[in-house]
Amino acid sequence: MSSLVGRCAHLVLNDEWVLWEAMTEDKTKGNPHKELIPCPCKGFTKEAPKKGNSSPFSTSRFVKKIIAVGTAKPGRMASFVWQILGWGPSRVPPARDPTDEVLPCHTWDDSKMLRSFTVMWMFRFEDVLDPDMLHAALAELFEMDGWRRLGGRLRLRPDGKGEVHIPKKFTPERPAVYYTKAHHAMRMSDHPEAAKLPAAGSRPATFPNARQYASLSVGPGAPQCIEDFFYSDLPQYALHVVTFEDGTLVTVSHNHATSDMGGLSTIMSAWSLVLAGKKDSVPPLAGWDSDPMAAIYKAELTDGVPLERAHIEDKLLTGWRLAVFGIRFLWESTFANHESRILCIPRKVIDALMAQTRGQLPQSVDSETSEKPFVSENDVIVALMQQVYAMAHPAGSQRTIAILMAVDPRGRVGSALRPDTAYVQNAPCGAFVKCAAADAQTMTLGELASRCRSDVVAQTTEAQIKANANLVYRSLLASGTQPIVGDCTMEFTSMSNWSRGKLLEKTDFGPAVVTPGKGLTPGKPVYFQAQSIEPKNPLSMTVCIINGRDVNGDLWMSCDLKPHVWTLLMDHLGKIDESG
């Protein structure tokens, strides 16, 4: 039972290519019917419950969905039938080109969880840019030695492992980048979709999630899920440029199995250098035929220095506790109905929140030193979200609020990753922050932020990053799953801080400016947003991403939260005194 439920929890937490199973009872025969609903990429979604029907699933609606999809999209229907019968997908990859160089996917990239996300990164410019110049520079970057790996094609081996097929020479038929463009002879404010893009105001506000603007982000024929990469000859990166009379939208999309945000930040910087004619300044790309991150997670590659024991190792969920957590997580994820929105906190509000929180810190770290305690903006936002999550529970709740935070090892693990080298891949690092809901409800934000900082600092030393990564690596080898840290009744959430990537700062498309806008620095983006193209998962969890501050100092976030949590968060932000 433990292994079964643990596997269920793994399916949800790691968002594998999934068959969502819903049980309905045949009251006549007393036999359960198992409804199979494949991942959204295949064209099926779990329907929301209708009034008068307490279950989000029903056999009649399921059958209607099958008939509708089978009629409108017979190809997807055939794929669905093949999957039920266990014969695998009906799509087949293109014939292998014998001149391609074939390389394995790196360990952390070769993840079924990451394959579930094809991410679109939209950058907004107030200048009119030359789309063809942008495309030419990005293609030129991916034609450079080492960087050519990023122009390869993803393929799936019979054993389920991924690999990259790199053309010997990129051609118009087999380009390094999938490129599309569009032009609208109007101002952005006059376009029915572009006019609705998020814009900062004087008070905190939410906007539709980035997926709602996919018509401006994804060009025709671009890959939209991992199957589109595996079963086509499309390259790993797609570029879609939309120009208006007073601005430009530039979107880069790729599957998460290719890279994380840190890798994309590296691409944006190198792309800008090539565009400016500074190819010689582009750093070499590590990882052509081996995984440079292995120096972090493989004990035998740590320069002979014994690994520390991971501090979180004593807090792993195993056995019946993992089973209890898995059941509870599945139940809550099924009925949570998370809402995905973009959040903007104006500069004056976030500055006031920072000042108020730091004002709650003690005057010194302890009685023996005059050193003043410090909390970063990240610490404060993590504490804010932790407190809001806690306030959504009854007063005095004994549940733990646990947050898994993504950690970028670039710049943190000097013995393994060189500062003068580019690493475009996924990193095996994270940190856990947890607090009892009852404590988070009563502590000041300063106290919570200070505790969050202590937890993160303790887990992000070079030695602990390696120890934690090795712990996860060993778990993957033993069971194929990542370990879960915490207790069996916790509310498990995740966070990621993209501000460290400095995407707006590192992107400079000045040489491609055709008509300068009103900004002080032509060619610099003023805003960005990102999200996976795939529809929202029927089984969802609480996620918070800190996009970072824009050029005006306004803070942007993207969150999947329960409706009542959104209400609590907006109420809290609305009460912040900007006067200081």
Q: What is the spatial distance between Cα 34 and Cα 56, in angstroms, rounded to a whole number?
A: 14
Return the bridge partners of 435, or none.
Answer: 401
Q: What is the spatial distance between Cα 580 and Cα 561, in angstroms, rounded to a whole number?
A: 29
Q: Domains (ranges, CATH) in the chain?
A: 100-281 (3.30.559.10), 298-500+538-578 (3.30.559.10)
Q: What is the spatial distance between Cα 369 and Cα 449, in angstroms, rounded to a whole number?
A: 20
Tens-digit pLDDT profile for residues 386-442: 999 999 999 999 999 999 999 999 989 988 999 999 999 999 899 999 999 999 999
Q: What is the spatial distance between Cα 188 and Cα 246, in angstroms, rounded to a whole number?
A: 7
Residues 6 or more apart whose Cβ sits within 8 Å of residue 197: 124, 188, 213, 527
Token code pair at residue 482:
């990542």
Tens-digit pLDDT profile for residues 497-525: 999 999 999 999 999 999 999 888 999 99
Q: What is the spatial distance between Cα 335 and Cα 190, in angstroms, rounded to a whole number?
A: 39
Q: What is the spatial distance between Cα 100 and Cα 422, in angstroms, rounded to a whole number?
A: 23
pLDDT bracket for residue 535 (50, 70, 90)? confident
Q: Is residue 68 over pLDDT 60? A: no
Q: Taking residues 104-114, report their average pLDDT.
A: 92
Q: What is the spatial distance between Cα 60 and Cα 50, in angstroms, rounded to a whole number?
A: 13
In 256-295, beta strands by DSSP E = none
Residue 61 identity: R
Tens-digit pLDDT profile for residues 115-137: 999 999 999 999 999 999 999 99
Question: C-alpha angle with apex 347: 121 to 407, nearest 5 degrees?
Answer: 50
Least confident of 162-166, 177-181, 516-520, 576-580: 576-580
252 in Cβ contact with 509 (< 8 Å) = no
What is the maximum span of the chain, computed from C-alpha positions, in angstroms? 75
Q: Is residue 472 over pLDDT 50? A: yes
Residue 309 identity: R
Helices (H), ranges, 360-444 = 377-391, 437-442
Burial class (CB in 10 A: 0-12, 13-18, 19+), 383: buried
Q: Taking residues 211-234, report their average pLDDT.
A: 96
| pLDDT at residue 128 in the model | 98
With a pLDDT cut of 70, the percent of the chain lying above it is: 82
* Beta strands across the sheet bearing 205-208: 205-208, 339-345, 555-561, 543-549, 491-497, 400-406, 430-436
Token code pair at residue 176:
């390094």
Q: Taking residues 459-487, report their average pLDDT.
A: 89
Other CB atoms within a 10 A radius of the CB of residue 281 amount to 11
223 in Cβ contact with 100 (< 8 Å) = no
Residue 399 identity: R
Burial class (CB in 10 A: 0-12, 13-18, 19+), 570: middle
Q: What is the spatial distance between Cα 422 and Cα 283, in angstroms, rounded to a whole number?
A: 6
Tens-digit pLDDT profile for residues 8-32: 333 334 333 332 333 223 333 333 3
Q: What is the spatial distance between Cα 400 and Cα 390, in angstroms, rounded to a whole number?
A: 8
Q: What is the spatial distance between Cα 560 and Cα 436, in angstroms, rounded to a whole number?
A: 22
Residue 322 identity: L
155 in Cβ contact with 162 (< 8 Å) = yes
Least confident of 27-41, 371-385, 534-548: 27-41
Mean pLDDT of the chain: 84
Provide the total of helices (H) and of strands (E) in the chain, helices listed first. Answer: 17, 19
Residue 559 identity: C
Which residue in this structure is represented by tokens 């690092």? Answer: 429
Q: What is the spatial distance between Cα 330 and Cα 118, in angstroms, rounded to a whole number?
A: 24
Alpha-carbon distances of 459 from 318, 409, 469, 478, 494, rounded to whole Å:
21, 12, 11, 23, 16
Q: By three-state DSSP, how is residue 120 classified? A: strand
| pLDDT at residue 303 in the model | 60
Q: What is the spatial distance between Cα 136 and Cα 276, in angstroms, rounded to a whole number?
A: 12
Question: C-alpha angle with apex 446: 441 to 449, nearest 5 degrees?
Answer: 85
Tens-digit pLDDT profile for residues 242-280: 999 999 999 999 999 999 999 999 999 999 999 999 999
From the list 120, 121, 200, the residue with the least C-alpha distance to 528 is 121
Other CB atoms within a 10 A radius of the CB of residue 531 amount to 24
Which residue in this structure is represented by tokens 């008509």? Answer: 515
Strands 237-243 and 178-183: parallel
Got the DSSP string for 220-244?
A: TT---SHHHHHTS---SEEEEEEE-
Whole-prediction pTM value?
A: 0.85
